[in-house]
Amino acid sequence: MNEKAQILIVDDEPLATLTTPPYRSMWPLTPGVHAFHAEGYDATGRRLTSEPVYVTVIE
């Protein structure tokens, strides 16, 4: 795994693996509550995980 890779997770499913800035991605969301977080690796190979963020899509 590239130590610079960032993995975006939406609703417990991988959305994208990003290796160069800007670390961003777009995706269609259906109405409802969705959770997303990011995972990455530090220089020693240790996996780092962000706290989840919850969003509610109305329409």
Number of domains in the chain: 1
- What is the distance between the alpha carbons of residues 55 and 44, in angstroms, rounded to a whole number? 32
pTM value is: 0.73
Residue 43 lies in a domain: yes
Which residues span the domain enclosing 15? 6-57
- What is the distance between the alpha carbons of residues 9 and 49, in angstroms, rounded to a whole number? 10
- What is the distance between the alpha carbons of residues 53 and 59, in angstroms, rounded to a whole number? 19
pLDDT (tens digit, 9 = 90+) per residue, 7-57?
899 999 999 998 888 888 888 889 999 999 999 988 888 999 999 999 999
DSSP label at 56? Answer: E
Residue 59, Cβ neighbours under 10 Å: how many?
4
